């Protein structure tokens, strides 16, 4: 897209430099720590699966047993004990999973030769990573076969019945009407569960449980629609919360295409411990990078608690930080759906122009990123006609500024969970607006002394000041004092802190090592050169 705002490249580069420096100490901390869910995700990548009669997943059984027997065991990594049990028993992975589900404790076995454990583990990891790589290649082949059949931006629509089989019906209808991306909303508060339910589920509230079986069911259904429509239908879920890495692993194994995967969302909006979140987000993003999964970040949520006009700079600052955390995990820019939202108070004079400015600014600063643009929600009301008008203006801005992922707005957003007809109208509205103005923006230039350009430069300048302030304080102090979203989260507070583990001198995680090697992250697991698959 042609640049229209005349933003200072030096100031943009300075902002990126500040963001790199700000995330550095966090990355140093991450390097020395793991979490219970990182360990469980690693076991899943080796094939650990299933659940006991009470529904407790096998990865949880292994990690909980090790922690209960001696917390120091997890400092060595759960993979060591799981693979040791494979060697000691002579069982296959599925057989060992069934025995663990029946009560067998892997920690009761004395450790065998670590060299033999390493050799066996590396074989299992290679198979797991190869399966994910095959999924990535399958997606690429399907997209190449049906090249350019999807619209731009991708039209993203949610399903949220609580029953995966009903979700499939809604997803099929939405895709057949023109949706490009189907997002299965998770059941309320699943992000606060420190385990992933097992199997297909039919009783979610406000959404459907994210489970590997549910992922498999929806992927198969959407592949059938893709074949019928001759265009690739993307599947989205949420790699966030206390099981962020595990859900990323399940998504990679079942060929999901997008994952909501923010670096700070869980901290700010779910009160999950900051240190735990930062460790979990890096590992989950490494998995997503290897799988070719596009992440979506959550800056749009800032504007539900902060004013969109006054605090626009916090959105841009967070985008810079999310970008650097993404690079450190091996994600290339093309897999970073950096988030923002159309949330200006409709009573503000020229609010549309401010929204246009913010969206254009994000597009120019992050030219390779498939930006994720959220519809108006904060100021939606029971006036469905006004809501439809707001969504129409949002559709215009999204198409005009070349957003990559367009979350469709619903005229009944503030009333109830949208009906099928509401989604039908949302798709039709977006298709009409975007088709009618396909080349409109190519005809438009902005006055360099005008409101749109001036606003973008003002937001960039305030972002620089904000990043300088964070650089002086530290990111953890900025979070603790409420500089993001006006929400205060201390470093030693929040849920899940007890699941944070210091890596011991004998820590071994071949999944982490395999991902770093495959993503070319180096010894420190850093990559600011837009690496990844």
Which residues are the active-site residues? 265, 300, 372
Q: With the C-alpha atoms ordered 278, 280, 284, 289, is the resulting torsion angle positive or negative? A: positive
Instruction: Identify the CA nearest to 22 among candidates 322, 261, 275.
Output: 322
397, 355 contact by CB (below 8 A): yes
Return the SS3 of 438: coil
Compute the CA torsion angle 436, 441, 443, 446 (nearest 10 deg): 140
CA–CA–CA angle 372, 320, 353 (5° rounding): 55
List Cα–Cα distances, 432 to 69, 378, 394, 427, in angstroms. 62, 24, 13, 9
Q: Give the Cα separation of 355 and 398 in Å (integer).
A: 10
Paired residues of 500 in beta bridges: 35
Measured from the Cβ of residue 450, the count of other Cβ atoms closer than 10 Å reads 12
CA–CA–CA angle 70, 74, 79 (5° rounding): 125
Paired residues of 158 in beta bridges: 183
Residue 211 neighbours by CB under 8 Å, 6+ apart = 196, 197, 198, 199, 200, 201, 250
82, 73 contact by CB (below 8 A): no
Q: How far apart are the first and last CA of the chain?
A: 24
């Amino acid at each position: 897209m042609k640049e229209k705002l005349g933003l200072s490249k030096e100031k943009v580069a300075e902002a990126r430099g500040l963001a790199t420096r700000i995330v550095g100490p966090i990355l140093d901390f991450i390097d020395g720590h793991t979490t219970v869910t990182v360990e469980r995700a690693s076991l899943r990548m080796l094939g650990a699966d299933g659940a006991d009669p009470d529904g407790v997943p096998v990865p949880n059984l292994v990690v909980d047993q090790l922690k209960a027997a001696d917390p120091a065991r997890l400092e060595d990594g759960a993979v060591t004990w799981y693979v040791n049990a494979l060697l000691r028993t002579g069982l296959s992975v599925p057989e060992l999973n069934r025995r663990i589900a029946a009560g067998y404790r892997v920690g009761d076995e004395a450790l065998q030769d670590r060299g033999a454990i390493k050799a066996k583990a590396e074989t299992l990891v290679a198979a797991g990573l190869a399966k994910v790589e095959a999924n990535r290649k399958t997606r690429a082949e399907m997209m190449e076969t049906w090249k350019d059949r999807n619209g731009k931006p991708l039209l993203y629509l949610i399903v949220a019945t609580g029953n995966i089989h009903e979700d499939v019906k809604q997803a099929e209808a939405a895709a057949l009407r023109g949706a490009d991306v189907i997002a299965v909303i998770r059941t309320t508060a699943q992000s606060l569960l420190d385990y992933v339910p097992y199997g297909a589920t039919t009783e979610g509230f406000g959404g459907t449980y994210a489970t590997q079986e549910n992922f498999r069911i929806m992927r198969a259904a959407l592949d059938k629609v893709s074949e019928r429509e001759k265009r690739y239908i993307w599947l989205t879920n949420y790699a966030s919360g206390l099981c962020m890495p595990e859900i990323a692993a399940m998504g990679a194994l079942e060929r999901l295409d997008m994952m909501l995967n923010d670096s700070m969302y869980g901290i700010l909006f779910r009160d999950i411990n900051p240190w735990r979140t930062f460790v979990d987000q890096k590992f989950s993003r490494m998995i997503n990078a290897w799988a070719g999964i596009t992440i979506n970040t959550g800056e749009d949520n800032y504007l539900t608690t902060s004013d969109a006009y006054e605090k626009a700079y916090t959105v841009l600052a967070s985008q810079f930080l999310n970008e650097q955390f993404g690079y450190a995990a091996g994600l290339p820019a093309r897999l970073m759906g950096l988030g923002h939202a159309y949330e200006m108070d409709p009573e503000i004079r020229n609010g549309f122009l401010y929204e246009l400015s913010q969206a254009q600014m994000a597009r120019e600063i992050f030219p390779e990123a498939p930006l994720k643009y959220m519809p108006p929600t904060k100021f939606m009301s029971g006036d469905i006609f006004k809501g439809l008008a707001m969504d129409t203006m949002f559709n215009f801005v999204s198409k005009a500024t070349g957003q990559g992922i367009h979350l469709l707005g619903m005229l009944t957003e503030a009333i109830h969970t949208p009906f099928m007809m509401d989604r039908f109208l949302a798709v039709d509205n977006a298709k009409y607006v975007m088709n009618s103005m396909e080349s409109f923006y190519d005809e438009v230039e902005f006055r360099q002394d005008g409101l749109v350009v001036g606003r973008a430069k003002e937001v960039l300048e305030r972002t620089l000041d904000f990043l300088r302030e964070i650089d002086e304080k530290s990111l953890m102090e900025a979070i603790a004092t409420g500089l993001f979203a006006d929400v205060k989260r201390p470093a030693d507070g929040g849920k899940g802190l007890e699941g944070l583990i210091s890596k011991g001198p004998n820590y071994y995680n071949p999944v982490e090592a395999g991902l770093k090697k495959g993503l070319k992250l180096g010894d420190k697991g850093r990559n600011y050169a837009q690496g990844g698959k």
